[in-house]
Chains A and B, each alone.
Chain A
């Protein structure tokens, strides 16, 4: 199994508080992704990273920021959490090749966030 861990696995917070989710990998993979999963919407891409300090927006990036200061860590921050951000968040990694295309994703176990 790919070495990828997410923390925390469960979190309950209140509206307006900041929240940071961490994704840590031991595979030295280039690509890292954050997805959210909600009933009826499947997996939606929030942000992704193609290298240290190289990030880009996904489909639903509003209200989220990310940082990647080391290859192994990709942080997702909700600056001021809202109830609409209650979701299960999955981190994924991909080795990529060449121009870093076409690699399969390995997913973390997910982080369940509830915003009251």
Chain B
């Protein structure tokens, strides 16, 4: 079952902050975040593991609430280069498939 992302779309001005949320109905082992620009492949941003381990880009921050099976991606002081579609991917405790949400489109205005 696909994780649910919110909001579906966001429009910001450069320098503003944004939060993208991801929730799952399954008990999760990990949450992944990726960004995709138009016409390109998705690119890894961050992975958060059950138990608190994280790996990702220094300028990206995210949280993982293991009790609620929810994750949030925090984009602070947004830049024009942050525009794109953001996907969360979830890996359940009971299997090793990585299932993605439908994405959140982020548009940054100058």
Residues of A within 8 A of B (CB): 31, 33, 35, 40-45, 48, 50, 56, 58-59, 90, 94, 96, 99-110
**B44: nearest chain-A partner, CB-CB:** A104
A102→B102 contact, CB < 8 A: no
Q: Show 5 residue pairs from A and B whose CB-CB distance is below 8 angstroms, ordered by the A residue.
A: A41-B102, A44-B2, A45-B100, A50-B96, A102-B49
Chain B, residues 59-103, CB within 8 Å of chain A (1/0): the string is 000000000000000000000000000010101000011111111
**A99: nearest chain-B partner, CB-CB:** B96
Contact A102/B44 with A40-B102, A42-B87 known, Cβ cut-off 8 Å: no
B37 interface contact, C-beta 8 A: no
B29→A42 contact, CB < 8 A: no
B97→A48 contact, CB < 8 A: yes
B97→A35 contact, CB < 8 A: no
- Interface contacts (Cβ under 8 Å), in number, total 64
B107 interface contact, C-beta 8 A: no
Contact residue among A44, A99, A104 (Cβ-Cβ distance under 8 Å from B47): A104
Residue numbers in B under 8 Å from A35 (CB-CB): 100
B87→A43 contact, CB < 8 A: yes
A45→B102 contact, CB < 8 A: no
Q: Which residue, B44, B47, B53, B96, has most C-beta atoms of chain A within 10 A?
A: B96
B97→A102 contact, CB < 8 A: no
Q: How close is A10's CB to chain B, nearest CB, in angstroms?
A: 13
A107→B41 contact, CB < 8 A: yes
Q: How close is B56's CB to chain A, nearest CB, in angstroms?
A: 8
> Considering the chains assembled together, what is the distance between the CA atoms of A102 and B29 in angstroms?
8
> Considering the chains assembled together, what is the distance between the CA atoms of A107 and B100 in angstroms?
14
> Considering the chains assembled together, what is the distance between the CA atoms of A90 and B100 in angstroms?
13
**A107: nearest chain-B partner, CB-CB:** B41
Given contacts A45-B99, A102-B29, 9 further A-B contacts (CB under 8 A): A35-B100, A42-B103, A43-B89, A44-B100, A45-B97, A45-B98, A50-B96, A102-B49, A109-B41
